[in-house]
Structure 1
C-alpha cells in the first residue's frame, strides 16, 4: 500500500501485538447435546486480533462471553465472521476518514479460529434460504475457556461471487446485503446450532439484528406439525432480548417490499400466512427488527436503569394504551471484563494488596475495600506507568515528568449525539485552559465514524483542523484506527475520561467503566451507567441544568453543558490534579479520588456481576419457562395460544361502562377509605381472566394502582367491581383516575404480555 505520510497531528495506527491467549478447539466438533444458553450477536469484540466488531455492542458481547467462561456459565455464542472485518481507519492530511478493508487471512497463525468440521472431517456447511435461493455458509469456532463462539461465513465455493461477498464487512449500508446478513445470522445461526446437536434451554438475542432466529425456530416446529400460534408460544417462552439502542433511528427497519422479496418462499413454512408472519414485526408500514424481538421474547431488558426507562418510553409509542411505567422492560446494567481492560501494573498492585482470589470475586464490594489502603505513592506510580506506556505507544510528544500534563481522553464512535465537539464550544476559553504553562492540559481523541455517517466523519475532520491551529498545537491529538488495542491504552493511560452525549441517548456506555477500574476519573453527563455510578466523590457530573431536566432544545442544552464542563475543568478538575502534597509531591487528593472511584465502581460495573444478573434474573427463569411450555407435547403452549386467541376474538366487547369514586365511603369490601366502584362489561370473557384496577398519576412521574374485586353480577357478562385504598398521599381527584381492564393468566411472563387494555375514559 506504500508508506503512509507522517502527519504530526495524527497518531498513525499500528498493531500493538496483544493477541488473544485462548485455546484453539480440536479440528473435529463432537456432536453432542448441550444445555444452557445460546447467545446471538452481530459482532463479538473478543480481542484485537479478531476484527469482527465495530464498537460498544461487540465489545460488550465479547466481555459477556469471557465472563460466562470465568463463571462456568453454560453458554454458546453465535455470530458472523466478517472476511474484511470492520473497516480500518486512516485519516488523510485533510482530516478525512479513509476506509480500508484488508482481507483477514485465516490461514495466518495469529487468528485463534478453527474451521468447524463434521463427523467425517469435512467442513460443516449450512444452507440458508435468502431471497428464494440457497446460500451456503461454513462456520469457524473460537474457544474462550469453556465457551465456544461459532462464526458463519459465506466465502464458500458453492456460492455465487456475490454471495461469497455477503459476509465481507460489518454493518453494510446496502439494505439487501444488510437483511441478507441478518437472515444468515438468525436463520443460519439457528440451523448451525441444530447441526451441531446443541439444544439450548435459553435463546438470548443481543440486539435485534439476530431476531430472524425466531422465524427459523417457529419453522422447525411447524415442520414437526406444531401449529403456528403454539410454536410461537414455545419459542417466546425460552427467548430473551437485550436492546441497546435508545432512539428509534437506531433500530433496523426493512420495507415490506424487501421482506416480500427475501421471504416470499419462506412465509408459508412457518405454518401461517404472510400477514401472520409480518404481524410479528410490522410497525408504521415497515418491518421493525426490534418489534419482532419484543413480540417473540418472554423477557426484555435495557442495559442501564435509565435506558430501561427510555426503552419503556420508546415502546410506549407502540403500546399507547399501556402507561410507560407498565411497559414490561427490565434493566441489567452493562459491565466490563476487568481482566481484559486492566493495566498490567494496576493488576500487579491489586494482586499484592487485595485478597488472593480478588479476580474471581470482582462483584463483591468488600473485595475492593483494601484499595483504600494501597499506599498513594504506589497507586500513583502504577497510573504513571500506564500513562507513559500510552504516550510511547501513540508517539505523543509528551512527558510524565512530575505526572506530566493532565490528559483528558475522549474515545468512542463518532456520532453526532455523542457531541465530540462540545468541549470546543468556546475555543478561546478552551485555548486558555489547555495552554496554561503552569497547569497544561491535553486532549486525546480517537474513534471511527460509520462509512455512511457523513456528519460523524465531519466531526473527525473538524477535530483534525482544530488540532492544527496554533493555539491547540501540542495540546490536541487524534489517534486513528480506534480498536481494542488503542482502547486499552487510552482507558489505562489518560487521567480523565470525558463523555458528553445528549442525555438520554447513551444507552449505557462502558468505556468509562474500563477507565474507572484503572483509576482514571470520569467526567461525564449523567447518562447511561454514570447516572447510577456517580456518587459525588468518584468523579464529576456534567449537569448543565439546575434541576437535571433535559427538556430544553439541543442548542441551549449544549450551551448549558459546555459551561458546566468548563467550570468543572477550571474550578475543580485542573486545580485538584495540580495540587501536590508537600511531603511526597503527589496529588494526594486526586489519588484519594482514584481510590474512591475504583472502590465504588469496580464491584458494580463488571461482567461477573452482569453475567450473574443474567443467570439469576433471566436465564434460569426463561429455562424453566421454556421447558414447561415444551413439555407434555406442548400442552401449556397450546393452552396459552388458544386462550390468547379467545381473548383477542372477544376483546372488542370489553368496556368500562361506569366509574364512581367515593371518598371516605364504607363500601362492600372496605372500611372508611377512598373507594372505587366500576361497572364492567366482559361479554364472553370470564371475570377471573381479567384484572380490574383504578389507575392514576402520582404527580411524581409514577402511577398508583388499586385493584378492584368483583362484588356482584348485574347481567350476563356485566359485573360490578369495587376496591379501596388507605393511602392518603394519593390524590384521588376524578380527573386523575381511570379504570383499566387487562387480560391475565398465571402462564403469562408478565402482566401485559398480550399488550391489551381497555380503559374507562379513552
Structure 2
C-alpha cells in the first residue's frame, strides 16, 4: 500500500514538474511557435490554439486534470521534453554579445518605452513605437544583449476597433485579464509581491510590478490598479494614449520615476538607460536622485555622471508629436519631488524643457528635456535625423542645423516574428541553421537565394497569398456576424477575393499626413484598375483612427462607402481592428505593400520592412527608411524626394496610379511559358537579397551596442568612478565656462591668398577661458553641391600674453573671402556631452 502511495506521489511530482515546464514555455514570448513545435498546444485544445495562437489561453481553457492526462502520455512527454531541451540549448548557447571584447564593461541596459508589441496575447501596444520596442527586445535576446525593459501594464491597452454598417468607427476597451496574459507578478526574495510607492500631491501612489519573459530578455511592467489606491489613481495605467494632459503627465511620471524605482527594487543596476521616445523623460531625474543618495553628491554632479549613460531615441517627425505640459501642471505634481528630493529650484528643472531664453510660463517639452538629460540622441532614419535637427534647432540657436547633435540608427524588424512559418520552415529544411535570420551563422542572403530556383520562390509567394485570402475571408465573415448580418451575407464575405490575383496591401494609422485615401483621389480610375478583365487587382486595407481624430475616422468611412459600391465588391476589403495578428498575415501574404505618407512625416516606418523576407515588394513614398533603401530594381518609389504641401497630393496620386498601371501590374502579369513572372521574381530576389538583413532588428541592436551602448557605458563608468571625480570636475568646468565665456572674443582674421587657397591668422582673446578646452575653426557654409566644411586652426607658440593667443592655418580652396568665418567651439577633450557642448559656440561674424 505504501509502495503504491509512493509511486503515485512520484507520478504526481513528475506531472507537476512537467506542468511547471509547460507553463514556463507558455509564458516565454521568445519562442516562435510553428508547425515544428506547436503540436503540444494543438493536442491540448486545437480550437483555442488555431483561433489565438496564445499558449496561455490554451492552458486556461483546459482543465488541470486533462493537462495531467497529456503529461502522463509518453508521446506528449517526449515532445514536450524535446522542445524544452531545444529551448534551453538555445538560451545556453554563446551569443554575438558574449564575443565582444568589452561585453562585461557595457553591463546591463535599461530600455524604457510606453508600449511594446511582443505578441497578440499581450496587447500593450498601439502601433509603430511598440513594434520597434518589441522587435528590438526580441533581437536583444537573440544576440544576448543584456537588456531589461520597463513599461506599463495597461488595463485596457489601446482601443479595439469596430466598424458599423455605415462605416463609422467605434472605439472599444475590453479589459486585459492578467490571468489570460503571459505575465507573472514580481516577487521579493521573501515571496511577497513587489510593490513600491510614488508620492504625488496629497497622496501616495502604490505600484505593483510584473514581468514578461522574452528568451534572455525581461520586460518589467508597472501597474497602478492596486485596490489600495483611490480609483482615479488606479486608472493611471488604464488606457494607452488616453485621457487628458494631466492623466498623460501622471502616466509619464509613473513610467519614468516609478520605472527606475522598479528596476532598483528588482535588483537591477544598469549602466545604460535607453529612452524610446520622450514619454519616459522623467527617468533621468529619478536616476540622478538615486545617484545622489548612493554617492552623496548634489544634483548637478549626479546628472552629469548619469547623463553620460542616458540615450534618447526620438521617433517624432513633427513638433506637434512632442508631449508638452504647462509649467503649472509640472509644479503641481513635481514641485515637492524637485525641491525636496532633488534639492533644486522648480524653475531650474522646468527650464530644461524650454527653449533658451524662453518665457518662464512657456510649455515644458518632454523631448527637449530628454535631450538635455542625455549623453546622446538619435533619430530612426537618415531623413528623420535631418528633420529632427530642424525640430530641435530652438535648443541650439547659434548652431548650424546640420551640426545639431542628433545621429541616426535605422529601425529594423525581428525577422522570425514577421516571416511566415511556411517560408521559415522551407529555409530550415533546405539550409538548416544557415538562414536569413540566423544570428550565430551570418548568412549571405543573395547567395542563398541564388541556390533557390524561381519555381520554389514563386510557389512560396502563391501559397502565402492563398493563406492570406483565406484569413481575410474568415475575418470579414466574423465582422459581418458581429454586425448581425444574415447567414447568406456572412457566407459570401470575401468570396470575390482570389488567391491568384495581384494583392496590394495598405495598413496603418488613419491620419491626414499618412494620406490613406490617396488611392481614392480618382475612384473611377481605381475601379478600372481593380476590375481589368485580364489583369485584375485586389486591395486589402486595415487601420485605426485615434478616437479623437475625426478626420481620420472620416477617411475610414470614405473607404467603407467605396467598398460598398457594386463594382468594388470582391476587389477591396477593409479588415477591422488592425492588430499584430492581422499585420502579420498581411505582410506575409501581400504582393505589394503601399505606403503614402507626406514627406518627411514618416520617421522611419517598419511595415514595409516586414514584407521583405516574405517576398513582398514595396511601392512607397521616398520617406523614412525607403528614402535610403530604394533602388529601381528593388521596388517602386512615389514622389520626387522633395517636401511639398497638401496641394501636391494630386500629383502624387497621379504618379501612384501610373506606377500601378504602367509598371507594377504589367510586371506581375507578364508570364513566361512556365506561367511565372520572371521579371517580378527577379525583383523579389534583388529586394530580399539586398534589404532583408540590412533592415533587420539584429542589425539595429548591434549598431546600438557598437555606436552608443559601449562608448556611453565607458563614459558613465569614468564619470562615476573615484568618488565621481570626473563628474565633479565637469560641473566645475561648466561653471567656469558660464563665468568666463562672455569674455571670449575673436579679432578680425587675416585671409592671405596663397597658391592653393588661403593662409589664415587670427587673434583670440580668451577672457579667462582655458585655451585647452577650445578649438578655433574656419567655417564655410554649404555652397551648391559642396557641403559645409570646417578647418581647425592651431595656436602659435611664442611671445604673447596668457589672455590672448594667435591661431593660424591654411585651407586648400578659394571661394571668396566673404564665404568664410572664424568660430570657436569646445573640444572633444572637454569631455562635455554633445548636447551640452554644442551650444557653446562663438562666431566671428
Q: TM-score with structure 1 length normalisation?
A: 0.91
Tell me if 1:709 matches 2:794: yes
Does the aligned pair in 1 maintain the 2:472–2:494 contact within 8 Å? Answer: no
- Alignment correspondent of 1:613: 703
Question: Which has the larger Rg?
Answer: 2
> Among 120, 124, 127, which residue is 2:194 paired with?
124
Match of 1:258 among 329, 341, 344: 329
Q: Which has the higher helix share?
A: 2
SS of the residue corresponding to residue 748 of structure 2 reads strand
Give me the whole-angstrom Cα distance separating, in 1, the residues matched to 2:442 and 2:759. 47
Counterpart of 1:394 (choices 460, 463, 472) is: 472
- Cα contact 1:713–1:719 (8 A) shared by 2: no
Checking the alignment, whether the CA contact within 8 Å between 2:311 and 2:374 is kept in structure 1 is: yes
Residues paired across the two proteins, number: 723
Displacement, 1:132?
A: 4.5
Q: Report if the CA contact (8 A) 2:826-2:841 is conserved.
A: no
Higher alpha-carbon deviation: 65-74 or 221-230: 221-230
- Give the aligned CA root-mean-square deviation in angstroms: 2.3
| Aligned mate of 1:238, from 309, 325, 329 | 309
* Alpha-carbon contact 1:132-1:264 (below 8 Å) kept: no
Change in 2 beyond 3 A, CA 1:562/1:15: farther
Contact 1:692 1:707 in 2 (8 A): yes
1:292 to partner: Cα distance: 1.2
The residue aligned with 1:407 is 503
Render the CA deviation track for 1:704-736: whole Å, top value 9, x for unaligned. 10111222676552333222112x3xx532332
Between the aligned partners of 2:194 and 2:727, the Cα distance in structure 1 is: 33
Structure 2: gaps of 5 or more residues:
1-48, 57-82, 88-105, 474-492
Secondary structure of 1:360's match?
coil
SS in structure 2 of the partner of residue 317 of structure 1? helix
1:5 match: none
Instruction: Decide whether the 8 Å contact of 2:185 with 2:209 is kept in 1.
Output: yes
Whether 2:567 is the aligned partner of 1:497: answer no
Show CA shifts across 1:82-101 (max 9, x none): 01111111111221211111
Partner SS for 1:266: helix
Match of 1:655 in 2: 745
Where does residue 275 of structure 2 map in the other structure?
205
1:304 corresponds to 2:381 = yes
User: Counterpart in 2 of 1:485?
Assistant: 581
Deviation at 1:361, TM superposition (A): 3.4
Q: 2-side partners of 1:569 and 1:722: how far apart?
A: 60
* 8 Å Cα contact 2:527/2:568 also seen in 1: yes
1:380 aligns with 2:380: no
Asked which structure has the greater RCO (Cα within 8 Å, sep 6+), the reply is 1
Q: Which residue of 2 aligns with 1:175?
A: 245
Is 1:329 equivalent to 2:413 in the alignment?
A: no
Q: How does 1:509-520 map to 2 (within 5 A)?
A: 509-520=605-616
Partner residue of 1:740 out of 813, 818, 823: 823
Conserved? CA contact 1:187–1:213, under 8 Å: yes
Q: Is residue 2:50 matched to residue 1:50? A: no
Instruction: Give the Å deviation of 1:399.
Output: 6.8
Residue number among 70, 78, 87 corresponding to 2:159 in the alignment: 87
Q: What's the CA shift for 1:472? A: 2.5
Structure 1 residue 555: Cα displacement: 1.1
The 8 Å contact of residues 143 and 439 in structure 2, kept in 1 or not, is answered as no
> CA–CA distance in 2 between the matches of 1:400 and 1:745?
61
Normalized per residue, which structure has more strand? 1
Alignment of 1:111-190 (within 5 A): 111-190=181-260
Is this contact kept in 2: 1:740–1:757, CA < 8 A? no
Equivalent residues in 2 for 1:518-537, closer than 5 Å: 518-537=614-633
Shift of the 105–290 alpha-carbon distance from structure 1 to 2, 3 Å rule, reads: same
**Cα distance in 2 between the residues matched to 1:16 and 1:509:** 29
Unaligned residue ranges in structure 1 (runs of 5+): 1-13, 26-33, 666-671
Shift of 1:302: 0.9
SS at match of 1:49: coil
367-376 or 386-395, which deviates more: 367-376
Q: Deviations over 1:556-601 (max 9, x none)?
A: 2x1222122111111110001111111x211222122112111111
CA distance in 2, matches of 1:485, 1:321: 48
Distance 2:579 2:277 in 1: 21
2:187 and 2:586 mapped to 1: Cα distance? 39
Determine helix, strand or coil for the equivalent of 2:218.
strand
CA gap of 1:345–1:363, structure 2 versus 1, over 3 A, is same
Alignment of 1:48-87 (within 5 A): 48-87=120-159
1:451 to 521, 525, 547: 547
After TM superposition, the structure 1 stretch with the greater mean CA deviation from structure 2, 741-750 or 449-458, is 741-750
Q: Cα distance 1:758–1:298, how it changes in 2: closer, same or farther (>3 A)?
A: closer
Contact 1:384 1:400 in 2 (8 A): no
Q: For 2:687 and 2:745, how far apart are their aligned partners in 1?
A: 54
Q: Which residue of 1 aligns with 2:772?
A: 688
**TM-score, structure 2 as length reference:** 0.82
Q: Are 1:349 and 1:379, in contact at CA under 8 Å, matched by a contact in 2?
A: no
